[in-house]
A and B are shown apart, each in its own frame.
Chain A
């Protein structure tokens, strides 16, 4: 009996057309998730079809699979209730337990069969054209089978058990959906929290799908293991699998025990009986009541009134069911938990309860909130059809625009209420976390009601659903298409398969890029235009939806598109046409401002240009070129126009042994520049310019002799016009409130620019370029041994910098500030370089508050964003403590002034340049430093930066392997030592964190991990393993001995190479420490 129920049910489902649709969707998902998970690991040798990638795919399951399982599974039991067949099915001579088992396992096996589509998609990736052939190895069939059995099949069993138990418990589908939703939420919370704070046992165990556990195991595997190994079932992962399998079995057994025909029938029958009973009481004599003759009215104002009153009724219909309330309650609970527990910041600890952290959930939960709204919108649109009321409602004398718009407004209302609840909850959580004084209602409103993934974005997505519903007139296709389109947009942009925001329906640039310093910065300029574009398209969609939606029984396409149709009046027909024209005009406007004004290039085009640059101009690297030998710079920031004007008197010196007859100058897209020789025996004549690579050449006549120099005056302007279309292009060197950029963002670079080369070997190979074996020149490269690490085209020199900016802003520049001049509405600061240093300069301008101090002979200054004074004392103590440490143990601090500046998060976490340290806002300015760990981290960042000053000001670092050990690892090691002097526990904590970071990140090494001796500029090496190792070395030697060896080393060498320093250290080190440096 069980077999026959099972086989009949399975056959029935498999023969349905939706099976093919679901399989196709899952094949698609298999391909895209493989691509996505492959991109997650940037290891050069990782295969796209590696077991590591497949295991992650199988554990995650994917959103499409979750949705499909949610849609199809419940029918196994619920169908009898839905189609009222329980009246006769339950009377058949079938044992009810056999019935349950047959239906349960047919649902489960059907889900497993659908999941094979997902696996098929993974196997089809090599043939899908999304990766070069070299990215694929033999298909790991065994591992795929292993993952399918260990991860996916138990997960599907769990989901099947959850849904069916929900249906049996409530006799409704809603509880089943809710169960799936809760499981997915649990998975997401475990995954997100583990990503933010590192994987812990609790995250592994709490994840119902074993994804976090799989990720944990994958992180410990080498590249070769990822490509070949079966996933070892660690104790954590095994425990996870066991726990959730037991949960699934429990739900199955509970359902088996609970499912009876009587139980399934009882609820429905009882309700009707009670109604019938009440009906028979006190019935008045019906025929006595006369029917009144009410007045009826049909006119536009009545229709408008009806529109809103119907919207009100529709709204109530949506929010009334218990399932809706439960779902909303779960979402609100999840959001509260996220806001209370989660911190999406860079530094190691928690964040203060800022408003931006309270609205961040809209990004991580946004996908689910929008899917829910889209599904509800689809259900509402087809409500009359679903319940069979359309035969009545479609004959009522109300225009289609009233009925459809009322539903649309109702859905917008539901979304609005959700957004309102989010604001309420955000404010409440912020108060709960003690952040009442930090509440920014404006930000709450703009984030949660605006178009940055707030209410207005929800409205646009609801519009999409209504349009598809009107177009297809099919509920299921509407759900699949609308959610599918939404997923395709998300996945395509996540995987960078699509890059232009103008194709991301409903989204605007910069939604993820809120800065506490600059707000939405430059995206505030572009986002309204994008939003306006989507609004135009939405207007078209809403009107089209009304026009396309036909009442009645049959939908005939030829009649759908009849222009003479009366569903919209002539104005109603013209409006969508105008809106569509508006949409295309805005698309064109955006193309002009984004693409044509040079604010965006497709990455494929950029890569092609980089490859072409290398192929065409690499010969320049062998040509002698002059370098900057002196510079006096005048700079004027005009932040409101995103413009800078500059003039620079640059001394270009020939340090090669050959005369130089051609000067190669590199600028960038937004810069216009002129150059002329000033007061010299030489002439500089423009020769040619490559406009694609912004490379200009000038003939020097007569050729510049060795050791001779010429004084060149560069005058130029950099200005951003148009729009930036994504967070990838923050254009941070010229923004409104806190510009910050390297001097070469504005001034020309000389000679061949190796930083323009492609640095990923995968891509290099695809362009026929030789793979990079090291990202830095070898230690024996003579030219690079005599080149400055931080400015290849610069000698060490002193110079002056005058920066003018708007009144109200404070400039940022290297050097000692020697003068401040206020004139009209401008402020000019003049700086002077105190030491001979290469052109490691950063310039900027921003709205800052200032805190000044003095430590021994050094004036300190902290420039911070107005409201970010939270940790100013810690930063100042760190500055003073670090300067004191340098003066006491390392010699003397090289500058008379030092500035610590807060900068937006768009760039690197920390910049160290003469007299200045720039630290990203997310590195601690609004960290919650209640615990000592966070305070010590802030102290470490400042100490290591000050010690880097000490290193850079006293030496020339050669641009070869190991350079960052000198500039990062040694200052970091010294900083740990300084912290350990006061607090060994804090130092141990930082050491552990750094080692954990190294262990995690080393597996994402895009090429091959070099030993520290040949470290070539990767943060996970120099700033983590390097710092830890140097700390142990300094500790082993003792600080005094180390400094002694260091001083000898810098006195003996004009350019410093770590390998040379290590030779001096080696005799004093243990073999273990030597191995730490020499071996991987």
Chain B
């Protein structure tokens, strides 16, 4: 069971090239799609989720050509879009039952059981009779998660799923997704690096519509091993550091400005080595691409 994306290209009528020759192979398990805002993640997700047509390329899932037979792919798909609305006058249970029916669960008791189980898992069981327009942002997001998991889809696409969730709910969701990801293809599109590093066994970094890098998070992290340095500086020094070193990020910690620099050896004695995390590798990659662009 795998999703194969080949040479996918999409240009909007406005002329913006949102996806440019993207190729990915995604196997069973959690796959993270990491990228900045506007990188093309949502466009890619929309194409895979059959909401958008592509100009070129192909998307195949387990032998199904998703572009020419979207109706077949939909039978195996669970999709949580980045932004979505709900019918104002129905309850969560009612709408989930409706979706369950549309997802082909023909038996009434099966539907009920499935919906209730999901409502439990997303912690909405107690408010399942409430009208959806009275839900808070986080509750709505959990409803979105529940609907995406209805019908036991084999391909799950979740676009920025943890937006609006409090830490506890986010944690619950991670657990749920991990459990499901054991037997399904799950694509997690996000710009929150921690989500990917926590959950995914494979990932791709995307920017400007192109795939910058693919691999396992640990491999990507390892690419910086022994090359990542950290120091505290004064705010006024930041521009000088940027000019002198390959600064991939800077941030305040306990009121002090810290910079992260990538270098093959220790830049000076003020720096200490830092164990790289995925976020550092991600920043480094973005920085490299930025530098390349400037050089061109």
Contacts and interface: CB of A to CB of B under 8 A. Distances in A.
Interface of A: 271-272, 274-276, 278-279, 281-284, 286-298, 302, 305-306, 309-310, 313, 317, 320-321, 383, 386-389, 391-399, 403, 551-554, 556, 559, 566
A618 B44 CA distance: 82
Contacts of A317: 87, 89-90
Contacts of A313: 90, 94, 98
B250 interface: no
B121 A291 contact: yes
Interface string B92-132: 00100011111111110011011001101111111100100
Nearest to B147: A392
3 tightest Cβ-Cβ pairs between the two chains A and B: A388-B85, A296-B104, A391-B81
Contact of B52 (A279, A306, A554): A554
B50 A552 contact: yes
B98 A290 contact: no
Contacts of B79: 391-392, 395
Contacts of B101: 306, 309-310
Contact of B99 (A275, A286, A392): A392
B50 A394 contact: yes
Contact of B117 (A275, A292, A310, A387): A292
A54 to B, nearest CB: 44
A295 B75 CA distance: 12
A276 B75 contact: no
Contacts of A386: 85
B290 interface: no
B127 A289 contact: no
B181 interface: no
B52 A552 contact: yes
Contact of B175 (A276, A287, A566): A287
A286 B84 contact: no
B51 A395 contact: yes
Contact of B139 (A279, A292, A309): A279
Given A391-B84, A392-B79, A292 B113 contact: yes
Contacts of B70: 551
A554 B122 contact: no
13 contacts: A283-B123, A294-B100, A295-B110, A296-B105, A296-B106, A302-B104, A310-B102, A387-B87, A388-B85, A389-B86, A391-B83, A391-B84, A554-B53
A297 B53 contact: no
A899 B264 CA distance: 121
A309 B100 CA distance: 12
B292 to A, nearest CB: 31
Nearest to A399: B71
Contacts of A292: 110, 113-114, 117
B53 A397 contact: no
Interface in B255-282: none
Contacts of B84: 388-389, 391-392
Nearest to B138: A276
Contacts of B121: 286-287, 289, 291
Given A293-B152, A310-B101, A552-B51, A395 B77 contact: yes
A286 B152 CA distance: 18
A281 B107 CA distance: 31
B172 interface: yes
B13 interface: yes
A388 B149 CA distance: 19
Given A294-B152, A395-B49, A278 B126 contact: yes
B197 interface: no
Nearest to A398: B102
A559 B87 CA distance: 29
A289 B120 contact: yes
Contacts of A274: 134
A295 B107 contact: yes
Contact of B75 (A321, A392, A397, A556): A397
Interface residues of B, number: 65
Contacts of A554: 12-13, 52-53
B240 interface: no
Nearest to A294: B110
Interface string B141-173: 000100111011000000000000000000010
B103 A276 contact: no
Contacts of A272: 134-136
Given A293-B152, A294-B152, A389-B84, A276 B136 contact: yes
A552 B152 contact: no
B67 to A, nearest CB: 12
B88 interface: yes
B85 A389 contact: yes
B246 interface: no
A294 B107 contact: yes
Given A306-B101, A551-B51, A553-B52, A294 B120 contact: no
B126 A559 contact: no
Interface string B20-62: 0000000000000000000000000010011111000000000
Interface of B: 12-13, 46, 49-53, 69-71, 74-75, 77, 79-81, 83-90, 94, 98-107, 110-111, 113-114, 117-118, 120-127, 130, 134-136, 139, 144, 147-149, 151-152, 172, 175-176, 180
Given A392-B144, A395-B50, A383 B87 contact: yes
B66 to A, nearest CB: 11
A286 B102 contact: no
Given A271-B134, A292-B113, A388-B83, 11 more contacts: A272-B134, A276-B136, A279-B124, A294-B105, A295-B107, A296-B75, A296-B151, A321-B89, A392-B144, A395-B51, A397-B102
A277 to B, nearest CB: 10
B126 A279 contact: yes
Nearest to A302: B106
Nearest to B74: A397
A387 B50 contact: no
A559 B139 contact: no
A255 B278 CA distance: 56
Contacts of A392: 79-81, 84, 99, 144, 147-148
Contacts of B87: 317, 383, 387, 389
Task: Give the most central of A292, A394, A395, A398: most B CB within 10 Å.
Answer: A395
B89 A551 contact: no
Nearest to B172: A286
A566 B77 CA distance: 19
A347 to B, nearest CB: 49
B88 A556 contact: no
Contacts of B136: 272, 275-276
A317 B91 CA distance: 11
B52 to A, nearest CB: 5
Nearest to B10: A554
A291 B118 contact: yes
Contact of B125 (A284, A293, A566): A284
Contacts of A399: 71
Contacts of B99: 392-393, 396
A553 B46 contact: yes
Contacts of B117: 289-292
A298 B76 CA distance: 12
Contacts of B134: 271-272, 274-275
Contact of A275 (B52, B86, B110, B130): B130
Nearest to B130: A275
A301 B142 CA distance: 32
Given A387-B86, A387-B88, A397-B103, A282 B126 contact: yes
Contacts of A383: 87
A575 to B, nearest CB: 20
Contact of B126 (A283, A287, A297): A283
A275 B104 contact: no
A737 B184 CA distance: 75
Given A278-B126, A287-B175, A397-B74, A298 B104 contact: yes
Contact of A556 (B53, B69, B113): B53
B106 A552 contact: no
Contacts of B122: 286
